[in-house]
Amino acid sequence: MPGSLEQIAQLAVNGLVAGTVLAVPAIGFTAIYAVLRFPNFSVASHATIGAFAGYVVNTAWHWPAWAAVAAAFVVAGAAGVVNDRLVLRPLRPAGALTTAIGAVALTIVLENVVRFVFGNDLRGYDLPIRRDWQWGPLRIGPQQVENLVIAVVAMLAVFVFLAFTRTGKAMRAVADDTTLASLKGIDAERVARLTNFGGMGLAGVGGMLLGLDTSIDPLTGFRVILSVFAAAVVRGAIAGLAGAGVPHGGRLRRHPARADAAPARPPR
């Protein structure tokens, strides 16, 4: 029946649309995971921070949408660098899972910092909402197409950066073996800073895109965080890569079946 075929096609489009919103923060999550080797659950609150940063510049300063997205990237990225330096970096020697637990704690603290400053009220951007395009039986929104473009661009940018730039190669080296990288004169700290800036910046952009589709409040990031993790896991598993956009080559990651000695240990 053509009717049900159309329905399936539309469901696929809807799924893609839902996925692209999650893709951007998921890329941020996997980028950090690939380099710093711990699941940084605080992408949730950094997404919220990005949504609020975009909200402030859009509604209070009347910046246009693209500038709000840029602000979301920069503010969330900067917050990511600061939070990592102050909170998570000191925990890293204790192992990946200790750091992950620290990231969970961090995300609760940040969510409540946002709540402390902005309260619980729901907010929205001062941007028009556009009708969907109708292509025959299928419909898709301009916003969703833009989300898709942003996601693809972000993915490409991460890929190109990691594969072709000197810094990107340094990042991969750090991801591969921190000790070896430092022996080769790569500044692991600088790499960590860059990774956090880029990764959390993407989380912030993702938060802003989420805010466009849903609403902006202290729980904007937290509501979707499980789907973001799921997206990241699926992406990692399907691609067999150490995260989105990271190409194969060399000993990029340890065999997934092998439990890492360091991460799998509780603090002692």
Site for another protein in 151-190 (CB under 8 A): none
Which CB atom, from 177 or from 187, has the smaller least distance to another protein? Answer: 177
**Could you give the angle at which helices 142-164 and 188-213 cross, rounded to 10 degrees?**
170
Rounded to an integer, what distance in angstroms lies between the CA atom of residue 233 and that of residue 240?
10
29: Cβ contacts below 8 Å, ≥ 6 apart: 39, 40, 43, 199, 203, 228, 229, 232
Rounded to an integer, what distance in angstroms lies between the CA atom of residue 211 and that of residue 127?
11
Using CB under 8 A, which of 128, 136, 185, 240 touches another protein?
128
Instruction: Tell me the window of 136-144, 152-160, 183-191, 243-251 that interacts with another protein (CB under 8 A).
Output: 136-144
Instruction: Tell me the window of 63-71, 137-145, 155-163, 164-172 that interacts with another protein (CB under 8 A).
Output: 137-145
Quote the distance between the C-alpha of residue 181 and its chain's center. 25
Pairing mode of beta strands 138-140, 133-135: antiparallel
Rounded to an integer, what distance in angstroms lies between the CA atom of residue 136 and that of residue 115?
44
Using CB under 8 A, which of 139, 146, 163, 187 touches another protein?
139
251 binds another protein (CB under 8 A): no
Which CB atom, from 11 or from 149, has the smaller least distance to another protein? Answer: 11
257 binds another protein (CB under 8 A): yes
260 binds another protein (CB under 8 A): yes
17 binds another protein (CB under 8 A): yes
Which CB atom, from 124 or from 247, has the smaller least distance to another protein? Answer: 124
**Where in 210-249 is the site for another protein (CB under 8 A)?**
210, 213-215, 217-219, 223-224, 226-227, 229-230, 232-233
Q: First-to-last CA distance in the chain?
A: 62
**Where in 20-79 is the site for another protein (CB under 8 A)?**
21-22, 33, 37-39
Instruction: Tell me the window of 63-71, 155-163, 243-251, 259-267 that interacts with another protein (CB under 8 A).
Output: 259-267
115 binds another protein (CB under 8 A): yes
Give 122's DSSP letter: -
130 binds another protein (CB under 8 A): yes
Distances (CA, A) of 188 to 24, 35, 173, 196, 227: 25, 10, 9, 12, 30
